[in-house]
């Protein structure tokens, strides 16, 4: 007899498919990585890092203080002389070696990142790690071609591009949402251009950076070229403020970015800031609706919405609003939330209790201000930090959820009537990092993209990254660009005839 689906429909449940934790060996404790050695903090302080999906303590990590920052900067300064004097092709060899080791160890690093960050293995394995390796490969390729990047010495007839020089010691502070990827964005161009690095990973996600320190040793990178200082905001502030740091690179919140800008003002330090965002994802009535729905999901639920360039404001043309919302709600009902190590999982855990509280508070504000809140039926695990994918409809520009960056899986839906209105609303934000356009009409893509004040504009896709493509913001989303040829500029000396350093 043919099977009856009524009897068996409940049998088509996907089997759990968790990645094995045994591929990664997490030590009970880790030190700071200074001058090629793991070492305790000068004041002996440590902190615990937990897995957001289970609240399990993964390891105890040394907490850097001011004295450690000083030690690390001195080590980087000392290493700078030799490192910057190497021919570009020699530096490239190290970078290529690091890139290959990352590829070889990518499964281990993906599992580690998922454990420490809470994001689904699907994303660490298929997005983060391939991009991490790609960034090192890409900037390894630039290391011996800096003469041709166009950022070197200025001559009478403009940039000659010849003999570009590194800045010195780069102090880099990265966030917890893409711990290893942000490390790659910072370290790869810095090393390619001949700078040395002191990097502070976020306090909730220090582990992959410490594994990277091990990779540097495995690659035989000279001591002191890369130093890793796990720690809190005080260590970050000490690093940014250290007088012997020549370049500051920060990715994180706008509030901290402003503090950094204030602290380096008046110094000769070069700064790049990659800060918050409130990206507009604009769906026109002639959009490929099914793919737009996928793009909306990718835009806001990728990495639980903890993405600075998330498409957290959906601007949908009123004539298709109902259709798009119906399709979106139907699609959200198929999202799978749960164990981040399971390859079927679409939505993992929120990175920390603090972040969860912040998301909850902003969502409550949205409700209090009269926006309509909707989530699919969704069972949340009992331990760990979880937030169900959430939609706010009936949102206007005046609502908090349309203006403040939530940094969580919360989408605010607004509507518009004409392309001009879409552009006006999309630009009506203090941020300007990303935007998306969904339309079948090529001319409209070009016309609208030209008017959007955002560093990245995606057309008929969202949240796609590539090392060759510069990334950065307008307005309070920061300044400077990372990635691509432009990403080299921030690590090369300003073009004066003789140069000061």
Partner 1 sequence: MPTTAPSPGTPGEGPASRPGDAPSAGGLADVTASDSALRRFLHGLPGVDAVGLEARAAALGTRSIKTTAKAYAIDLAISMIDLTTLEGADTPGKVRALAAKAVHPDPTDRTAPMTAAVCVYPDMAATAKAALNGADVKVASVATAFPAGRAALPVKLADVRDAVAAGADEIDMVIDRGAFLSGRYLSVFDEIQAVKAECVRPGGTAARLKVIFETGELSTYDNIRRASWIGMMAGADFIKTSTGKVAVNATPANTLLMLEAVRDFRAQTGIQVGVKPAGGIRSTKDAIKFLVLVNETAGADWLDSHWFRFGASSLLNDLLMQRQKLSTGRYSGPDYVTVD
Question: What residues from 332 to 391 belong to the interface with partner 1 (CB under 8 A)?
Answer: 334, 343-344
Q: Which one of the spans 36-44, 111-119, 144-152, 289-297 is the region binding partner 1 (CB under 8 A)?
A: 289-297
Question: What residues from 391 to 450 belong to the interface with partner 1 (CB under 8 A)?
Answer: 440
Q: Which is nearer to partner 1, 10 or 450 (CB)?
A: 10
Q: Which is nearer to partner 1, 103 or 344 (CB)?
A: 344
Asked if 17 interacts with partner 1 (CB under 8 A), we say yes
Interface pick for partner 1 out of 291, 319, 397, 418 (rule CB under 8 A) = 291
The alpha carbon of residue 211 and the mean position of all alpha carbons in its chain are separated, in whole angstroms, by 18
Taking the complex as a whole, the smallest distance from the CB of residue 291 to partner 1 amounts, in Å, to: 3
Token reading at 409: 């899986």
Burial degree of 12 (CB within 10 A; 0-12, 13-18, 19+): exposed
Phi, psi angles (nearest 5°) of residue 87? -60, 150
298: closest CA among 139, 456, 458?
458
Q: Write out the E strands in 336-409.
A: 372-374, 390-393
Asked if 3 interacts with partner 1 (CB under 8 A), we say yes
Asked if 15 interacts with partner 1 (CB under 8 A), we say yes
**Active-site residue flag, 274:** yes
Q: Which one of the spans 8-16, 150-158, 230-238, 356-364 is the region binding partner 1 (CB under 8 A)?
A: 8-16
Asked if 289 interacts with partner 1 (CB under 8 A), we say yes
Q: Which one of the spans 13-21, 140-148, 399-407, 421-429 is the region binding partner 1 (CB under 8 A)?
A: 13-21
Q: Which residues pair with 313 in a beta bridge?
A: 280, 412
Q: Which of 19, 113, 203, 308 is catalytic?
A: 308
The footprint of partner 1 on this chain (CB under 8 A) covers a number of residues equal to: 30
Q: How far apart are CA 395 and CA 280, in angstroms?
A: 13
The answer to whether 240 touches 263, Cβ cutoff 8 Å, is: yes
Asked if 461 interacts with partner 1 (CB under 8 A), we say yes
> Is residue 68 helix, strand or coil?
helix
Q: Which one of the spans 4-12, 104-112, 193-201, 352-360 is the region binding partner 1 (CB under 8 A)?
A: 4-12
Taking the complex as a whole, the smallest distance from the CB of residue 4 to partner 1 amounts, in Å, to: 7
Q: How far apart are CA 57 and CA 290, in angstroms?
A: 41
The answer to whether 32 touches 64, Cβ cutoff 8 Å, is: yes
Residue 46's contacts (CB-CB under 8 Å, 6 or more residues apart) are 29, 60, 61, 62, 63
Q: Which of 113, 274, 482, 489 is catalytic?
A: 274
Question: What residues from 314 to 333 belong to the interface with partner 1 (CB under 8 A)?
Answer: 326
Asked if 119 interacts with partner 1 (CB under 8 A), we say no
Asked if 85 interacts with partner 1 (CB under 8 A), we say no
Taking the complex as a whole, the smallest distance from the CB of residue 464 to partner 1 amounts, in Å, to: 10
The answer to whether 32 touches 67, Cβ cutoff 8 Å, is: no
Q: Which is nearer to partner 1, 187 or 347 (CB)?
A: 347
Q: Which is nearer to partner 1, 147 or 286 (CB)?
A: 286
Number of H helices, E strands in the chain: 17, 20
Q: Which is nearer to partner 1, 122 or 165 (CB)?
A: 122
Taking the complex as a whole, the smallest distance from the CB of residue 8 to partner 1 amounts, in Å, to: 6
The CA-atom distances, in angstroms, between 123 and each of 56, 104, 182, 299, 334 are 21, 18, 15, 13, 17
Taking the complex as a whole, the smallest distance from the CB of residue 439 to partner 1 amounts, in Å, to: 9
Q: How far apart are CA 321 and CA 287, in angstroms?
A: 12
Q: How far apart are CA 243 and CA 268, in angstroms?
A: 10
**Active-site residue flag, 308:** yes
Q: Which one of the spans 9-17, 175-183, 239-247, 350-358 is the region binding partner 1 (CB under 8 A)?
A: 9-17
> Is residue 228 helix, strand or coil?
strand
Please give the span between the terminal C-alpha atoms of the chain, in angstroms, as a whole number.
83
208: closest CA among 191, 184, 237?
184
> Is residue 388 helix, strand or coil?
coil
Q: Which one of the spans 15-23, 204-212, 311-319, 446-454 is the region binding partner 1 (CB under 8 A)?
A: 15-23
Taking the complex as a whole, the smallest distance from the CB of residue 345 to partner 1 amounts, in Å, to: 11
Which residues contact partner 1 by CB under 8 A? Answer: 1-5, 8-9, 11-17, 122, 286-291, 294-295, 326, 334, 343-344, 440, 460-461
Catalytically active residues are 274, 308
């Amino acid at each position: 007899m043919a099977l009856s689906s009524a009897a068996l429909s409940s049998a088509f449940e996907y089997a759990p498919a968790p990645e094995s934790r045994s591929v990664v060996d997490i030590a009970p404790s880790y030190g700071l990585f200074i001058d090629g050695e793991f070492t305790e903090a000068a004041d002996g302080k440590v902190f615990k890092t937990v897995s957001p999906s289970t609240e399990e303590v993964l390891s105890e990590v040394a907490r850097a203080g001011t004295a450690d920052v000083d030690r690390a900067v001195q080590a980087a300064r000392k290493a700078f002389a030799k490192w910057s004097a190497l021919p570009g092709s020699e530096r490239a060899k190290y970078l290529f070696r690091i890139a290959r080791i990352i590829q070889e160890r990518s499964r281990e690093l993906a599992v580690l990142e998922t454990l420490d960050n809470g994001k689904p293995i699907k994303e660490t394995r298929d997005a983060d790690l391939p991009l991490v390796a790609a960034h090192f490969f890409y900037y390894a390729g630039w290391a011996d071609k800096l003469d041709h990047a166009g950022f070197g010495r200025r001559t009478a007839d403009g940039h000659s591009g010849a003999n570009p020089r590194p800045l010195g010691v780069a102090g880099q502070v990265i966030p917890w949402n893409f711990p290893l990827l942000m490390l790659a964005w910072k370290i790869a161009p810095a090393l390619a251009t001949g700078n040395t690095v002191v990097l502070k990973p976020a306090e909730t996600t220090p582990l992959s950076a410490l594994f990277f320190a091990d990779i540097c040793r495995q690659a035989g990178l000279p001591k002191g070229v890369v130093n890793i200082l796990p720690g809190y905001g005080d260590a970050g502030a000490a690093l940014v403020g250290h007088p012997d740091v020549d370049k500051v690179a920060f990715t994180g919140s706008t509030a901290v970015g402003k503090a950094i800008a204030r602290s380096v003002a008046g110094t000769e330090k070069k700064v790049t800031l990659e800060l918050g965002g409130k990206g507009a994802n604009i769906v026109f009535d002639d959009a490929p609706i099914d793919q737009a729905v996928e793009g909306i999901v990718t835009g806001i639920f990728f990495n639980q919405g903890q993405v600075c360039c998330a498409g957290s404001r959906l601007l949908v043309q009123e004539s298709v609003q109902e259709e798009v919302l119906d399709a979106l709600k139907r699609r959200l009902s198929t999202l799978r939330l749960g164990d981040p190590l399971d390859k079927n999982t679409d939505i993992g855990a929120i990175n920390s209790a603090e972040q969860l509280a912040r998301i909850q508070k902003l969502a409550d504000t949205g409700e209090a201000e009269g926006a309509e809140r909707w989530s699919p039926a969704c069972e949340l695990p009992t331990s760990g930090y979880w937030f169900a994918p959430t939609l706010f409809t009936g949102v206007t520009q005046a609502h908090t959820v349309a203006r403040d960056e939530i940094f969580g899986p919360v989408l605010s839906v607004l509507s518009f009537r004409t392309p001009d209105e879409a552009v006006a609303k999309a630009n009506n934000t203090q941020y300007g990092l990303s935007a998306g356009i969904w339309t079948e009409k090529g001319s409209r893509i070009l016309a609208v993209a030209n008017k959007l004040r955002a560093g990245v504009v995606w057309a008929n896709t969202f949240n796609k990254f590539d090392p060759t493509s510069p990334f950065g913001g307008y307005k309070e989303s920061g300044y400077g660009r990372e990635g691509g040829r432009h990403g080299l500029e921030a690590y090369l000396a300003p073009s004066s005839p003789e140069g000061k350093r």
